[in-house]
Amino acid sequence: MTRPIDSHLAGGNRRSVAGLKPQHFGWAVERQVGVITLNRPERKNPLTFDSYAELRDLFRTLAYADDVHAVVVQGAGGNFCSGGDVHEIIGPLTKMSMPDLLAFTRMTGDLVKAMRACPQPVVAAIDGVCAGAGAIVAMASDLRVGTARSKVAFLFTRVGLAGCDMGACSILPRIVGQGRASELLYTGRALPGEEALAWGFYNRVVEPEAVSAAAIDWAAELASGPSFGHAMTKRMLHQEWSMGVDEAIEAEAQAQAICMMTQDFHRAYHAFVAKQKPVFEGD
């Protein structure tokens, strides 16, 4: 159920995003799930300067979305994303000045910041090639559904760069551990799907023909839950990286007290008493 947008909030803090029409990737909304499809299958869905920026802007906009409670990122044509386009990004970068290079790397980092800051859980549906910046987008997602045939590669050292790109040295060790992250970031080797599952990078592995539906179904399940509570969980997971245990416990005490003020908390209680399944509305 989509709640009507309060007229006092509609102008600046709440909006519908179902009708957005991005120019550089696909966008659809179903079952309160926003589905992003990287759709340059002939090139294995590489990113460009424009698609980086438009993705960043979309995730920033999702902070105000009232009709999307979870997000899926996927690629078209059997691959997730091959990273930055060699011809449209890598080539021009070799000719840029230092200020322009820094503007570019900050823009790519802003995409990860926007993904982590948006309140909706983000599920990546990963098949085939998932390399470079594509691996970063998968890493920055909250949950990952992969396939056995997929290959995830943080291959920045393969092109003469450092493995520290777009937050990889901070986020990846928290997913797979420091030693395994070090291996991936130093060597740039591909991580096959079953190994990615064993290492904890993937949450689930399914057949290639099922990866999109599995991710969307999982996202829809999350979207039907207490969306305010999910947003709080995501915020705490992110903020508590830099907290000590005592500070984290206090932050969670405050967060949970806020959640206890929501109507969803009351709905869950009354549904339990009535021996019914709660229907959450996100307020």
**Banded model confidence at residue 5, pLDDT cuts 50, 70, 90:** low
Residues in the chain: 283
pLDDT score for 112? 97
Lookup: tokens for 79: 């691959």
CA-to-CA dists, residue 86 to 74, 83, 133, 266, angstroms: 20, 9, 12, 53
pTM (predicted TM-score): 0.92
The whole-angstrom separation of Cα 74 and Cα 124 is 6
pLDDT score for 10? 58
In the block, residue with structure tokens 């599952």:
197
The whole-angstrom separation of Cα 81 and Cα 87 is 15
Sequence-distant (6+) residues with CB within 8 A of 19 are: none
The whole-angstrom separation of Cα 222 and Cα 144 is 14
Handedness of CA 276, 229, 52, 54 (dihedral sign): positive
Sequence-distant (6+) residues with CB within 8 A of 213 are: none
pLDDT score for 4? 59
- Backbone φ and ψ of 52, nearest 5°: -55, -50
Handedness of CA 160, 37, 142, 34 (dihedral sign): positive
Per-residue pLDDT of 153-164, as tens digits, reads 999 999 899 999
pLDDT above 70 coverage of the chain, percent: 96
pLDDT score for 9? 58
**Banded model confidence at residue 12, pLDDT cuts 50, 70, 90:** low
Rounded (5°) CA angle 224-226-228: 125
Is it the case that residue 13 has pLDDT exceeding 90? no
CA nearest to 212, candidates 145, 148, 149: 145
State the helix-helix crossing angle for 98-117 and 133-140, rounded to 10 degrees. 30
Per-residue pLDDT of 67-88, as tens digits, reads 999 999 999 999 999 998 888 8
**Banded model confidence at residue 14, pLDDT cuts 50, 70, 90:** confident
Is it the case that residue 165 has pLDDT exceeding 80? yes
**Banded model confidence at residue 11, pLDDT cuts 50, 70, 90:** low
Three-state DSSP class for residue 158: helix
The whole-angstrom separation of Cα 248 and Cα 115 is 22
pLDDT score for 203? 98
Per-residue pLDDT of 125-153, as tens digits, reads 999 999 999 999 999 999 999 999 999 99
Are residues 167 and 112 in contact, defined by beta-carbon separation less than 8 angstroms?
yes
